[in-house]
Amino acid sequence: MTDAQLKQILRKGYTPESQARGNEVYYCRVERELGTRFERKLCKTAAHILQDEEWGKEATTDVERNNGNKALGPHESGK
């Protein structure tokens, strides 16, 4: 992991918490569960956090690409 990637993880609110399962560091943050007042602690490895971000970027790109190519309905002029 590069310094830039570590800074990116820390900016997302994760803090290094423990070294479990070998020497792998887990980064944790507290998230509020949608629709409740309850919070939960979410812990992931750096690799998992970075992979989730990459998948999110890919999903966003796919949605933007598909919406840009959406066929117009019979009453839409595209303007």
Predicted structure pTM score: 0.69
Amino acid in the structure at residue 65: R
Parse the chain into domains and list their residue ranges. Answer: 3-67
Q: What is the pLDDT of residue 66?
A: 82
Instruction: State both tokens at 68.
Output: 């840009």
- pLDDT value of residue 31: 92
User: For residue 3, what pLDDT is reported?
Assistant: 93
Q: Which residues of the chain have pLDDT under 70?
A: 19-21, 68-79
* DSSP string for the chain: --HHHHHHHHHTT-EEEEEETTTEEEEEEEEEPTTSS-EEEEEEEHHHHHHHHHHHHHHHHHHHHHHHTPPP-TT----
